[in-house]
Each structure stands twice: as structure tokens, then as C-alpha cells.
Structure 1
Amino acid sequence: MVYETSYGTGQKPFTPDPNRGMWEKPSDYIFACFGLALKLDLFSASYWFFFDMGIFSMMPYFIYMVIYLVPILVIHSFMGQFSSSGFISAFRLSPFFKGMGYVSGFLAISMLIYYSIFAAVPLLFMINSFRPTLPWSCEGMKSWYNQSSDTSTICNVTDGRESLDSDYSEYNSSFYLKMLEVPSVLYFQSHFESMEYMYGYEEDKDYDLSWHFVGYFVLIWGIIALIFYKFSETAKFGKLIRYMVLGTLGLLVVCFVRFLFLPGAMKGLLRFATPHDRDMMGMASTFVMVLHAFGAGWGSVITLSSFNKFQTNIMSYSWIISFGQIFIYILFGMVNFMLEYYFQEVKVASYDTHVMSHWMLFLSSASVMASMEFANLWTFIYYTMLLMASLTVMITQIFTILQSLFDEFEQLRGRKQEVTFGLIGGLALCSFIFCTNDGVSYFSALSLDAIFSHSVLHLLLLLVVLWIYGRERFQRDIEFMLRQPFASWKVFILRFMSPFILGICLLAGLSAAIFEHSYSSMVVLVMAIFLLGLPLLFIPGYGLYYLYQSSGTFCERFRRTCRPTDWYPVDMEDRQRYEEFVGNTEMTHQLFEVTEEVN
């Protein structure tokens, strides 16, 4: 194998960022990856499609964890840790596919645009929890809710048949299903002049911008800007993430213990732990959970691992991360089931009523807290937990995007503050579309599209690392970095079994996206195409552009652009050991020449 330097291809050589820093503690990398599991849109509007099942539906997760989750996590971690660079520059492993890094950054930005709503909603309930009477309580809703409305809520219904129309009763007295609304959902909807959440779709409805939510969005992005002003250094940022993840999980456990005493909570836990026929459909949910382990923008783990020390044991860390993330999903799943069964317990004791408990963790849960003693306090605690979870996801994603840009574009390193706050300001402006009734109602479509895009990127990554770069070289680099072998059976699974599973996941994601977009507006469909679909075309486009810049015949150009360029450890001592390990004296001279000219 002839190793290429950037001089051999006529490109500017990769220049490491000496000020990028490292994690203060090795465990900060683990906590940062745990934070990726706090992306709670898995449990929001699409919950009914994927997660209306118990713990037995999650059992395939552990099979997938062995087959491809942990090995692919190792590949992501290897690329970041070996190269000490973000998800763009790490693809100097095979420059033809460097477009994957740019697409990963674009997907992360797309997620951040819509994910603000998951921080704004908790902020809405937190701020209003300071009122003496909660507005979404049965007593508080009298001040804003139209009591003459035909809508029935869990507050004003005592008999499922009490308001049954006489004509309808005579026509069909054997069956009647009454829909009961949750006050906290109605309170959320009241911030928009016209909005029907998850049902009653209207193609010709007017866009309604909620200035209340514009204010909440501005406050959220202001908090994020303050965080990056105070914690821009890697060590400080890692420490912040560590405490935010621990604080979020600590508050979640506190809320879990309190919810155990709610009516119907034990029935919910029993249902969660009891096998059910619907649990056989759990493969769809576990696909989604596995894909979210890598972050919303797909390349997060690559960048987060780049702050590890060179010989950090990414194999054991990958197992810890995988088990930790499923623990987080299970804990949130149990909370969701307890809240769901609370409504089944307190509603009318009749078979013919149904509570419209939309977006359980974020909206309907507020009405549960309103029924508790010290309701204001528990509302504040619960929604503080959700706000911390959302902020953790958002700032981690922004951090990985920024560091990847600084690693790739040397000229941006001297203007870090301008780039940081420029990115945050641009994201804030773009996110205002989700302050509208249409944006709030259909954001889940963009979330489901990520299943398809993540599957495509994983398949391409396996192609790049295990086929183009090569199995033997990959195993050799892992052995050099960790001083332990990477088992051949893992490579066999990754080369032959994982692509098959990812292919199924890709088809499932495509089907889910088509189904979701069939109910969403044309605006959201166009956004999905531009934010999540068309960027994938940039991967072959960038490869062809890189090919065009090279010289020689087409075959020579293609082989040259697929070979690793400047692929060596950044630290000089590790680089010298790597040269000795590989045993390529020609590469040794080339690398020293590059170093001298860069310095």
C-alpha cells in the first residue's frame, strides 16, 4: 500500500488544531455519548408508531448490539480517536467519501432547527408553574378555556354516556366512544389561534405564528449562546455535559419514584414488563433506538471520541455506552407507561371513553402533575429534567459541528467566537418556522426521515472502512492504537451481516417516512427533501469533484482519491511509533517532510 500525503494529490495538507483540547476525564466521553440517548423525539409524536410496546419489544436491541451496534461504535470511535479530528477531517481515511462528513454536519444542523421545540415546551410549563394556580389544572383552565365548547375533557366528564345524543343513542346504543381531551394539551394548543394536534389535518389552514413561542425560542438560544460563551473549552464543556447528564438522570429517577404512587402506575409498570402480542413488532422500535445511539447528525461519536487520549479503550467504552443508552430508554419507557395508565385509571370507569393523551412525556404529563400534591414543585422538577435533556442534546450537537469545522478549515480557528455565535444565531432564525401551528404539528416527519439517512451513511461507512480502506489495515490500526486485537469474527459480521440488517432498516425508514409525509403538509415535505434528502447527493458529488482535481487516467484518479491521505496519528510520538509499526520507510520520509513544511 502506497501512502499518500496531501502534496501527492496537489491538496493542502491537513493541519492539526493544537488548541482543540481533550476531555478532563476519560468518562466525559461516555457521558457525552449517554447524552445522545436523551434525544426524546423517539417518545413524542411518533411514539404510537414505534414505542407502544413494553420491555420485551426492546429485547432485539441486545442482539443488534452484538451484531452491529458495538462494532460500528468502535469504527466511529476509531476514526475520531486515531485521527484526532471531527467527522469531516476524519474522512481523509478515504477522501473520495469526504462528502459523508459534510452531509453529517448538514443533517445535524437540520435536527437542531426543529429540535428547539423540545426545549421550548418544557420552558413553557416551567415558567407557568410559578403561578399560584396552574393554568392547565381543572381549576386553572376556567380562566382561558371556553366552557361552552363541545370538547370534553377529563375534568368535566363524570359519565361516558352523559352527553350522548338521543338520536345517536337510539341508532347505536351498543357502542359509543367518547374522546376526552387533556387540559395541558389544550393549554399548549391555546397558544395558537388554529391548531389541531395529530389529528384533523387541514391542507388549507392558515399559518399561525405564536409570538409566545418565539419568545421561548429566543430564550432557549440565548441560554445556549451563554453556555458556549462560558464553556467553550473542551475540558470545561466535558465537565458541563457530565453534570448535565447526571443531573438529568438524577431528576428522572426522583420523578420515577414519585410517579410510583400515582393511580394506575403499578398497572403501567406491569404492562411494561409483561409480554404482549404487540411486542413482536418491536424490531421497528429497536432499529430506531440503535440508530439514535450515534447522534442526531450521525457523526457525533466520531467527533466526541477525537478528544480521547490516543490509547483510550474504545472497545470497553462502546459496551458501556450501549448498555447505558438502553437503560435510559427503559427508564423513560417506564415513566411513559406510568403516565399513560394514570389516565386510564382516573378517567371515567367506563369502556366507552378514551383519553387523547398526546405527546405524553412533554404535554399530557403536565396534567398528571397538576393532580399531585405540591403540583407546582413537581411540575418544575419534571420539566427542568426535560429541559436539561434537550439542552444536552442541542449543545453536544453544536459542539461537534463547530469542532469539525475548526478541524477542517484552518482559517476559521482564529475566529472561533464569530463562527460559534454566527451558527447559533442562524439556527435560531431558521428554527422560528417551528413556532407556527404547522411546524409544531408535523415536526415528527423530519425526525423519521433520519432513519433512512442514518442507514445510508452506516452502509457507506462499512464500505469505506472495511472494503476500501481494507479489513487488514483496519485491524492493524486498531491493534496499534489499543495494543489489543480486533477479533476477525467482528469484522466478518460487519462486512456481511450488518449490511443486511441495515438494508432492512433502510427500507423500514423509507416506509415510515413515506407514511408520515402522506399526512404532513407540502411545506414539511419540501423541507425534508432539501434538509435530509438532497444532501445525500452531495456524497457522490464531492467525490466526483475531488476526482476532477486529481491527475492521470480515470482509474488512477479513482484509486488515488480512495487511498488514505495524511492518515496518521497527530501526536509526534504516536506518529513515529506508527511508522515503525507499519514498517514503511518511504512513508516516514514523506511524513517528516510534511511536518517540516507545515511548521
Structure 2
Amino acid sequence: MVYETSYGTGLRPFSPDLNRGKWEKPTDYIFACLGLALKLDVFAASYWYFFELGILGILPYFVYMVIYLVPILVVHSFMGQFSSSGFISAFRVSPFFKGMGYVSAFLSISMLVYYSIFAAVPLLFMVNSFRPTLPWSCEGFESWHNVSSGQSTICNITKAFDENENETDYYSSVFHVPSVLYFENHFSNEIGYPEEEFELSWHLLGLFVLVWAMIAFIFYKFSETEKFGKFIRYMVIGTLALLLVCFLRFLFLPGALTGVNKYLTPEAEHLAMGSVSTFIIALQAFGAGWGTVIALSSFNGFKTNIMSFSWIISFGQVFIFILFGLVSFMLDHYFKEVSDATNYVLHDWLLFLSGASIISTMGWANLWTFIYYTMLLMAALIVMTTQIFTVLQSIFDEFEKLRERKQEVTFGLIGGLALCSFMFCTNHGISFFFALGSDALATHSLLHLLLILVVLWIYGRERFQRDIEFMLGQPFASWKVFIIRFIAPIILLICLLAGIGLSLVSHFSAVIIVISLILVWLPILAIPGFGLYYLFQSTGTFSDRCRRTCRPTDWYPVEMEHRQQYEEAVGNTEMTHQLFEVTEEVN
């Protein structure tokens, strides 16, 4: 035996789940990772940070792709594919840091609690698109809007301009979008103001219940790995097809071509701005919850070429970002086309809320509303189901006894998430998720930094390079290892500082600070907590305990054929002197 086992450390032995399944097709892994780019809260909360920059703003993405995105994707994929386990059990590569897996699970669950709003809002517009007159159109707006409120909308923007045309001194007018007011009308109190009374929207609550019922049905029908991979494959293809159809139709909107032209020919100084803001875009490649790629890659065949797959995933995701960016630009420039320099249109949450009023001006408005919001709903369901799938599989990999009760655990988790998500059916909860989303930039950057520390420094460059070459059956250049060890951490450190700064700005009330501490920051303490727990579980001097808990335990391919080959490969190389030392200690 040339690797250390759990028996020598006092830890519970790892028991692999040989019935966890694999992807039906290798490309299902690619489609599942492409679906991670549909995490659309980056568009909702940070639109102006990215897409006002135009195509030059996305160009730095390709630089980041080389210096840290693809390399870190490879590390994540290596962790999952080599160990054939989720993001908890994969950290047997260094048990001291196994708390990272539990933190990842908790952060993923926290994200799922608030992310259901991105499915409920499209469902709201889809359900109401069957009405003969759309309630957020200029024709249907007057049937429910309180005219005495004094809110001017884009429906009377021309009239307001004509009234002010002969005046030499007039101020800029603010115009609201009917679809935004329609959403806000579900609450009698204003959204996002701490001084307002807490209020629950029963209409939104019903939509949340419907969303979670859809997710429960998906896991009832597609819980097996092969079926789930096939489901995600067709969902991603369908979502991108509908996105492309909407993009082509929106080209005929007033101001759309102007928006596309501005996107493709921005000013040169936007390149410098883009080099900073695109940090956040690149981090979206890893999904809404950290560790998702580790769990998804664990269903690959052992020899799957994760190097080429990582490049395909990165290019595919930037294509999705650009396509959504173009759609956003066209919708934005529609409002600029119908207004002028003296009128300002307050279009909040452009892709999800304001876009509905624009679509209502098109021919066959009901049909296009249904198509557009079906695309957004599918995107949200892809993100949520993928996240739940990876969390569940990671739990089953770690806790052997729960594998016998998969159905109860699955629907218990979905039910618990549904109950917790009802907080975001309130006027205050609607504004909370923007702040929670901003915390992800800091926490993800921190976890990436720790992952590089674990794999490339504690486990070691030589052993990492040896293992990945054994798994892929091809050389892994040393310059790639150099980038991961030295260049990527610098970029991630900058992302961490930017994320902390963004979180401080976003937390504008005591309630949001408390929620953020409970759901995001306190779980980070589990990393040193579990490390100390494993340290005291071990035996010997403090130095011996540290070495023993940081060394890999049960770290080998799960399949017996690959495991025997790995033992022979490790036994015949001089790069495993530490493993031989461990063998001597165990003996």
C-alpha cells in the first residue's frame, strides 16, 4: 500500500458509492458547466459594471481565461474526476481542510434560498401573458395603476415632452416603466426601504410554491445521473435557442441597432474599466455555489480530457455572456430611443422587469412575452437544479448511511429550501438577495485561494502533476503549474478585496448585515473548526498531527483497475518519498 489510509489517522474510512452513475455522454459535463453561466443575478445586480463597457469590456475575459479561469477549472475538474466524489469527500486530499467542503455545501444552500426569485418573476409574467391585454402594456396599465400617485410612465413620455417643448427652463423628468410598477404593485408598501412595514405578497408566495413544485417534479423524474445529464443537456440547448430567437427579434426594436453598434464599437478607455470589472464575470464560470464543478466532473470517465473541456466551457460561457449583453444593450437603447436628454427612464432590473413593457409594444406581444420569460425561467431552473443535484450528491458521497434514503433526503432538502425561500416573497426580502449575491465574489475568491493552497502547495506541485498526468494519460506542462501556483493567486487576491469592498457597499441595513453574517460569513469559520477537530482526533506530537491531517488519505481512483495502475505508478516513481514515509509510519 503506497498511500495513507484512514485507519492510520483515526478518521472514518471513505466508502465510495459505486452506483452513483456517470454522464450518458461526455459532453453532458460541458452542457452542465455551460448552464452555470446562466446565473443571471450578475446581470440583475451589476449590469452597469459590465455591459456599458461594450465588447472591449469583455476582452479582458480572454486574458483572465488563460491566467486563472481555465487553470482553476482544471484544478476543480481534477479534484472531482480523480476522486469520483463531490466537493466534501474530495477534500480527503488534505483532511485538515475538509471544512471547505461543508462550507461549500452551506453556501450553495444559502444561494438556493434566495435564487428562486429568478424563477418566480419570469413565471409571474408567463402566467399573465395569457391575458387578452397585458397588464404592463400602456393599454392595460390604466386598469390597475393609481393615476393620483403622480408617477409618470413611458406611456405618456411624448405628451410630457410636448408640454415642456415651449418652455425654456425645465428640469429633467423621471419616467417609470409600467412592468416595474406592475411588479411593485404586488406590495402596498415600497420595496427595499427599512422603515417600511414588513409585508408578504401572497401572489408571489403562490409562484414560489409553483417553482419548488416544478423542481421537485424534475428530481422525481430525473434524479439518476444519466437522466439528469440528459435533462440538463436539452434544457441548456433549449434555453440558448430561445435566447438566440429573442435576440434576432429584438434587433427590430427601435434603438436596437444603435445599441448593438455601441456595444461593438465602444470608446477605447472602456478597455481599462473592463479589465477591472470582468473579474466578476470570470468567477461566474464556477456557478452559483462554490464546488459545483468539482461535483459535476466527478461523473466523468476517468480518462476524460478535462484540459480541452475547460477551454470549451470557458469559450462557451463567454458567448452566453456576450449574447445576454447584446440583449441588454438593445433593451437599454430602446428606452434611450423613446426619450431624450431631458427625460430619464427609471428601468430597474432590465432583463427581468423592464423588458416586459418593451415586449408589450411588439406584434404578437403575448407570444413573445411567453417565449422570452420561458427562456429566463429555464435558465433559473437549470442553475437551481444543477446546484441541488451537486449538493445532494456531495452529501451522499460523504455520508454512506444517507444513500439508502436518497428520496427522503432529496425531497426533504427541497421542502426545507422552499420554506426558507418564502422570506423573499416580502417587500424587504426582494432587496436582500442583491446584497447576498455580492458576498459570493469574496467568499468564492477566498475558497479558490485555499484550494490552490491545498492542491498546489500542501499536496504539492509534483504529486499534483503526477496525478493529473496519470489520469489524462498525457503530459501536463510545468508552466501551467506555475500559472496556477503563482499568477492565479494574485488575481484571486484582487477579486477578494474587490468582493469585500462590494459587500460593504451593498449592506445598507442592519438586517442585511445579520443575514449576511449568518448565511455567508459565519460558515467560513467551519474551515479552521474542522481542521482543529481532525487535529485533535489524531495522535502523536503536534507536529506529527499536523503532517498526518494534511496528508492525503484514501486518495486514489475509485475504480479498481485504475486504482491498481495508480498504486504501481506511485510505487515506481521517486516523487512519492513522503508517501513512503507514511507507509513506514503505518506499518
State the TM-score bracket (shorter-chain normalisation). over 0.9
Aligned residue type for 1:135: P
Aligned residue number for residue 280 of structure 1: 272
Whether contact under 8 Å (1:58, 1:285) holds in the other structure is: no
Partner of 1:93: 93
The AA in structure 2 aligned to 1:539 is I
Deviation at 1:499, TM superposition (A): 1.0
Counterpart in 1 of 2:121?
121
Kindly indicate whether residue 211 of structure 2 is the aligned counterpart of residue 220 of structure 1: yes
Instruction: Answer yes or no: is 1:26 the counterpart of 2:16.
Output: no
The secondary structure found in structure 2 opposite 1:180 is strand
Cα drift, residue 374 of structure 1: 0.3
**Contact 1:76–1:301 at 8 Å: present in 2 too?**
yes
Matches within 5 A, 1:55-454: 55-160=55-160, 174=169, 176-196=171-191, 202-276=193-267, 277-347=269-339, 350-454=340-444
Q: CA deviation at 1:571?
A: 0.2
Q: What secondary structure does 2:149 align onto?
A: coil
Superimposed CA distance per residue, residues 519-542 of structure 1 (whole angstroms, 9 cap, x where no aligned partner): 3x3222211111111111110111
Q: Distance in 1 between matches of 2:353 and 2:53?
A: 20
Which residue identity lines up with residue 462 of structure 2 in the other structure? E
- For the residues of structure 1 that align with 2:177 and 2:276, how far apart are their CA atoms? 28
Contact 1:91 1:98 in 2 (8 A): yes
What is the Cα deviation at residue 161 of structure 1? 5.0
Give the partner amino acid of 2:131: R
The worse-fitting range, judged by mean Cα deviation, of 295-304 and 576-585 is 576-585
In the alignment, does 2:533 pair up with 1:533?
no
Counterpart amino acid of 1:575? R
Aligned 8 A contact 1:119 1:390 in 2: yes
Alpha-carbon deviation of 1:284? 3.7
Deviation at 1:289, TM superposition (A): 1.3
Which whole-Å deviations, capped at 9, do the CAs of 1:50-99 have from their partners, x for residues lacking one?
44321111111100100011111000000100000000000000000000
Write the mapping of 1:465-544 to structure 2, written as runs, cut at 5 A.
465-517=455-507, 519=508, 521-544=509-532
Contact 1:3 1:563 in 2 (8 A): no
TM-score (norm 2): 0.96
Q: In the alignment, what sits opposite 2:454?
A: 464
Q: Distance in 2 between matches of 1:119 and 1:513?
A: 24
Does the Cα contact within 8 Å between 2:50 and 2:277 map onto a contact in 1? Answer: yes
Q: Secondary structure at the match of 1:373?
A: coil
Cα-to-partner distance string for 1:503-527 (whole Å, 9 max, x where unaligned) = 111111111111111x3x3222211
Letter matched to residue 225 of structure 2: T
What secondary structure is seen at the aligned counterpart in 1 of 2:464? helix
Shift of 1:103: 0.6
Equivalent position SS for 1:262: coil
* Gap change, CA 1:219 and 1:181, over 3 Å in 2: same
TM superposition outliers: structure 1 runs of 4+ over 4 Å: 159-166, 584-588
Comparing 395-404 and 13-22, the one that deviates more:
13-22
Name the SS of the counterpart of 1:296 in structure 2.
coil
Q: Amino acid of the residue matched to residue 176 of structure 1?
A: Y
Taking only aligned residues, the RMSD between alpha carbons, in angstroms, comes to 2.0
Render the CA deviation track for 1:156-199: whole Å, top value 9, x for unaligned.
Answer: 23244566799xx8xxx546111110000000000111124xxx
Distance 2:510 2:28 in 1: 42
Instruction: Provide the rounded CA distance (Å) in 1 between the counterparts of 2:6 and 2:193.
Output: 55
Q: Secondary structure at the match of 1:155?
A: helix
Where do 5+ consecutive residues of structure 2 fail to align? Answer: none
Residue 354 of structure 1 aligns to a residue whose secondary structure is strand
1:32 touches 1:396 (CA, 8 Å); kept in 2?
A: yes
Give the match for residue 597 of structure 1: none
Q: Judge conservation of contact 1:119–1:391 (CA < 8 Å) in 2.
A: yes
Task: Please say which of residues 365-374 and 492-501 is displaced more in the overlay.
Answer: 492-501
- Does the 8 Å CA contact 2:78/2:468 hold for their aligned counterparts? yes
Count residues in correspondence: 578
Deviations 1:296-348 (A, max 9, x none): 1110000000000000000000000000000000000000000110111123x
Other structure's SS at 1:355 match: strand
Identity of aligned residues (%): 69
Structure 1's unaligned 5+ residue stretches are: 595-599
Partner of 1:557: 545
Q: Residues of 1 paired with 2:2 and 2:462: CA distance? A: 15
Distance 2:265 2:518 in 1: 43
Separation in 1 of the partners of 2:59 and 2:125? 35
Shift of the alpha carbon at 1:202?
3.2
CA distance in 2, matches of 1:53, 1:479: 40
Larger mean Cα displacement after TM superposition, 7-16 or 329-338: 7-16
SS of the residue 2:341 aligns to:
coil
State the shift of 1:48 in Å: 2.6
Work out the CA distance in 1 between the residues paired with 2:562 and 2:38. 35
User: Residue 546 in 1 paired to residue 552 in 2?
Assistant: no
Distance in structure 1 (CA, Å) of the matches to 2:362 and 2:198: 36
Shift in CA distance, 175/491, structure 1 to aligned 2, threshold 3 Å: farther
- The answer to whether structure 1 residue 4 and structure 2 residue 4 are counterparts is yes
Do the aligned partners of 1:153 and 1:181 also contact (CA within 8 Å) in 2?
Answer: yes
Aligned-partner Cα distance in 1 for 2:12–2:148: 71
After TM superposition, the score normalised by the length of structure 1 is 0.94
User: CA offsets, 1:220-277, max 9 Å, x none?
Assistant: 0000000000000000000000000000000000000100111100000011111223
CA contact (8 A) 1:35 1:393 kept: yes
Q: CA deviation at 1:282?
A: 1.4
